[in-house]
Structure 1
Amino acid sequence: MKTDLLTPVLSGGVKNTHYFNGRLLTAEALKADQIANRQQHDHLGQAVGTGIVNGLWVKESGEKDKPFTVNIVPGLALNKKGQALSVAEPGIELQLDRTTPVEASSNGLFASCEKQTRETTEKDNELYIYVLVMSSASGYEGQAPKHNIVGPNAQAGCGRRYAVEMVAFDLVPWDASKVAGLSAKSKKQLADLTKKNDNDPQRLSRLRNLLAHICFGTEAKTAFAINPFQKQDQQSAFSQYGGVDALGLTACEIPLALVYLSKSGIRFVDNWAVRRRVTQPTISNNWPLQSGDRLRAEAEAVFFQFQEQISEFIRKSPGSVLSMRAINFFRYLPPAGLLQLNVGVMPGIRTATFFKEIPIPKKPYFLEGVQLNYLLQTAQQFSSIDLDQDEGSNQDKGETQREAIMLYQVRENETASAPDYLIFTSGHLPFLGNGRFNINRWNFFHFS
């Protein structure tokens, strides 16, 4: 479309009703105002970003007679269209055993967000991997009297009083093996972990961890360092990656949680595998990993996901955690994490057992408490630790050498009565165990 300088471009603009004396006020004119107001709010929402603002946690009901029920915590999110999706009332119990598609009613408030019909797929092993999503929806509430234009006292029935903006939930089937950038090794592990139908905590933990990192795009992002110039459809190959992008969700949908089901009930619910804080989109299609804040949001989710998973395991199986070995229960570890230690009656891991067959220092290095947040924030710039990654072979012993992991203990924690914990980091992070003159307590630190 040819346009001159300083000439208003009206095509595609927001149409606000123009009021003037003598104009007939109609429902259509007022509705046009509502539509314009909604479009302006959507534009504002798009500028803020997409993701979860607060709340919207998905939790298993925990009741034996409700094996397919989850509870949704009230909260707020923004979808890619900029629409605010809100769950205001507590106590929403959601049934996840849908076997037939359900059509949602609508009053057209979100005409651009048509409800998708998705079939539930059957599998031979009777196990199902889904992502629970929330989308914008609308409906009517209440009644209001309606009158004819001619004859003000002539009532002509009733109409609906309110057009209500609300939300709807859906389960999206997910075949993780078809995610782009997944290695043959990961596909084989995924097939092995999903072919069984048992309650083995080791299998479920490793599967949960692997699925989460497929969602994060952990493997796909490692290809950037190999060739940052990869192109796909005239833009960077890293514009889309990972399991969340592979779902093909509409711009109206927000992912809330990864759900692993069997025909007998829920096996696990993982929020952080797909949950992201509000994230600004990239402004460069050629360098998407270097603009916007998606990488930072994913790095935060990697840390939160691990901490939630291992804390849940310690809470549910305090005895079993003593024999937990990282290489058996996790494919990946975050670049930095915190571990509760088993001391006295306090449940937690045993360092030697958890890190068995992983190169670690003989004992943890001490770290000043003021450095802890710096370490955790710095770690978000690094890749996750792949416990299956071969760093070389020990020819003399015939052993596979894994990536070294550094261990720290906060000095203030050592001298306090608080529960003991351990910090682990990728060996690629800068070392923070050296003492500094006139700053550190020298008898707690490492000197070379």
Structure 2
Amino acid sequence: MANVQLNTPVLIDGILNTNFFNGRVLAAEDLTALQTANAQQRRQLGRSIGDGVASGLEVTLGTDPTVTVLHVTAGLGLNRMGDAVALSTDVDLAITTTLQVQNATNGLFAACQPPQGMIATNLDCYILTISPASGLQGSAPMTSALSCGFASACASANVAEGVQFGLLPLGVPNTSNTTPLRSQALQLYATLAPQFITLAGLTGTAASNLEAQLAPSLSKFRNALAHLCFGTDVLAGFPANPFAATNGVSQFEEYGLLDALRDQGYLTDCAVPLALVYWTAAGVQFVDMWSVRRPVFPTAASELWSIFSGRRRIAEGLAMFLQFQEQIAWLGIQMGGLGSVNAQSWFTQLPPLGAIPIGAETGGSGAGAIGFLGNMTYRGPEFIEGASLQALMRSSFAYPPIDPATGEFIWVYTVRENIQALDNNLTTPLQAYIVFSNGHMPYKADARFDGSRWDYSNYALG
């Protein structure tokens, strides 16, 4: 720690900008120093904005079953160092389980190399990441002091900025202090892994029957991994001891599997997580973006109260909602509908708010919700006005997820505009749906005079 004085510039480790003046002899090193200073200044701005995915960079599994390809759309992200990570065009990425380290000693991002080793893991799960990369392109003539102005050689003309993809194994620590959610994930993995080895050798009806048998466990495994990445199990202890801190830093500043990978040095500050990939002997079972993907958000204002003083939990609440909706859509495709899916058998955690599509044949009455909610404790479905829907969704990001196994109470709603449209014209392609929310959230279905519709309101007998 250096001693400094008031009203005196502190220049220790400051950015060095090239000072130009008439008569100065410039060398390549001076112009390189200027580029370096500009890059450092951009990184400062980038770090103040935050890290995450700004747009695009969506990951889906390729449609060819004979090759393992991930389709990544063009987009922009920011890593924790403040570097922009820009992919200018959609790409098809062939993935392998062997970590490939590229030599990038030349260029702008030589420091952003992937880790040199693999993580010991007992799961066939990987995190797809994207990092900045650079390389030399083109050629330009080069002269020397003795060449009389004539080119005597060539050198690289440009440094091109690009990206590189990485695949990091995601492991769930199996320790004596493991949480119930981690134990559940490990148990699900132990059940699924040998079954997928068996599935790899089956075809036809036998393969279809085993896939149907494994579907609920696979769904719960996907959901459990997502919430381990969200840190749901760790954050559950925050209300009991919010003052837990070490050296002025909250013990809840870091949580979840992504932070664990960063602490181990495998997920570097150069990398932006894009998706979680579950790759088994029978092929890729799912690609889950929102378990690890986050929108851009800045660091918290306080290290002691980081949960309240930053936007991380709000960003994760949004990611939790989107992960659930992505998984529900996936299940609808895999199972040919959600008729056989119920929360307690197919999910380990539910988001604080979710939207479930139900069959239009129910007339939008919400009867389709009963199958999904099963034996859970809930009230409804009750009518809410569409004017309340966005506010309800946004406020849910600050609430904890729902454990369907505990009997925790939840609210269930139908949206008046959706039901009214279905009642008025059932031939129009329109998706009926219900919305469930954490029971600790304020009740939103109270009828209001001149604010609710007579035929689409909730009544109480006095």
TM score, norm. by length of structure 1: 0.90
Distance (whole Å) between structure 2 residues aligned to residue 290 and residue 7 of structure 1: 35
CA contact (8 A) 2:182 2:228 kept: no
Q: Aligned to 1:372, which of 389, 403, 412?
A: 389
Distance (whole Å) between structure 2 residues aligned to residue 226 and residue 217 of structure 1: 16
Displacement, 1:285? 1.1
Displacement, 1:311? 1.1
Displacement, 1:403? 0.9
Once the two structures are superposed, the pairs formed by residues 390-401 of structure 1 within 5 Å of their partners are: none
Displacement, 1:31? 0.5
Q: Does 1:408 align with 2:413?
A: yes
Displacement, 1:315? 2.5
Which residue in the other structure is 2:78 paired with? 78
- CA deviation digits over 1:94-138, x for unaligned, max 9? 122233543343414124324322337575xxx511111111221
List structure 1 runs of 4+ shifted beyond 4 angstroms: 120-123, 178-182, 345-349
Q: Does 1:222 align with 2:249?
A: no
CA contact (8 A) 2:362 2:368 kept: no
Q: Aligned to 1:135, which of 131, 134, 151?
A: 131
Once the two structures are superposed, the pairs formed by residues 27-426 of structure 1 within 5 Å of their partners are: 27-66=28-67, 68-90=68-90, 92-99=91-98, 101-119=100-118, 121=120, 128-177=124-173, 182-183=178-179, 185-195=180-190, 196=192, 197-198=195-196, 199=211, 200-248=214-262, 249-319=267-337, 321-344=338-361, 350-361=368-379, 363-389=380-406, 402-417=407-422, 418-426=430-438
Distance (whole Å) between structure 2 residues aligned to residue 440 and residue 11 of structure 1: 64
Which residue in the other structure is 2:448 paired with? 436
Pair 1:229–1:116, CA change in 2 (3 A) = same
> In structure 2, the residue corresponding to 1:31 is in which secondary structure?
helix
Pair 1:40–1:346, CA change in 2 (3 A) = farther
Distance (whole Å) between structure 1 residues aligned to residue 169 and residue 114 of structure 2: 16
Which residue in the other structure is 1:398 paired with? none
CA contact (8 A) 2:135 2:159 kept: yes
CA contact (8 A) 1:177 1:190 kept: no
Which residue in the other structure is 2:9 paired with? 8
Distance (whole Å) between structure 2 residues aligned to residue 406 and residue 4 of structure 1: 60
Pair 1:353–1:325, CA change in 2 (3 A) = same
Pair 1:181–1:87, CA change in 2 (3 A) = farther
Distance (whole Å) between structure 2 residues aligned to residue 21 and residue 157 of structure 1: 29
- CA deviation digits over 1:69-101, x for unaligned, max 9? 1011110011111110100022x1212223354
Pair 1:130–1:327, CA change in 2 (3 A) = same
Deviates more, 1:72-81 or 1:198-207: 198-207
Deviates more, 1:268-277 or 1:1-10: 1-10
> In structure 1, the residue corresponding to 2:86 is in which secondary structure?
strand
What letter is aligned with 1:158?
C
> In structure 2, the residue corresponding to 1:415 is in which secondary structure?
helix
Displacement, 1:65? 1.7
> In structure 1, the residue corresponding to 2:173 is in which secondary structure?
helix
Pair 1:346–1:331, CA change in 2 (3 A) = farther
Q: Does 1:445 align with 2:458?
A: yes
What letter is aligned with 2:224?
L
Displacement, 1:410? 0.9
Distance (whole Å) between structure 1 residues aligned to residue 459 and residue 382 of structure 2: 7
Deviates more, 1:50-59 or 1:154-163: 154-163
Displacement, 1:426? 1.5
> In structure 2, the residue corresponding to 1:32 is in which secondary structure?
helix
Displacement, 1:264? 3.9
CA contact (8 A) 1:101 1:118 kept: no
Displacement, 1:207? 0.5
Report which of the two has the higher share of helix: 2
What letter is aligned with 2:389?
L
How many residues are aligned here? 428
Pair 1:167–1:349, CA change in 2 (3 A) = farther
Distance (whole Å) between structure 2 residues aligned to residue 346 and residue 73 of structure 1: 38
CA contact (8 A) 1:106 1:138 kept: no
What letter is aligned with 1:150?
L
Structure 2: 5+ residue stretches without partners: 197-210, 423-429
> In structure 1, the residue corresponding to 2:41 is in which secondary structure?
helix
Structure 1: 5+ residue stretches without partners: 390-401
Pair 1:373–1:281, CA change in 2 (3 A) = same
Displacement, 1:441? 2.2
Distance (whole Å) between structure 1 residues aligned to residue 451 and residue 376 of structure 2: 32
Distance (whole Å) between structure 2 residues aligned to residue 325 and residue 84 of structure 1: 41
- CA deviation digits over 1:387-432, x for unaligned, max 9? 123xxxxxxxxxxxx1122211111111103321111112111111
Pair 1:133–1:100, CA change in 2 (3 A) = closer
CA contact (8 A) 1:181 1:219 kept: no
Displacement, 1:56? 0.6
Percentage of pairs with the same residue: 36
Q: Compute the RMSD of aligned alpha carbons.
A: 2.3
Distance (whole Å) between structure 1 residues aligned to residue 113 and residue 99 of structure 2: 18
Deviates more, 1:346-355 or 1:112-121: 346-355
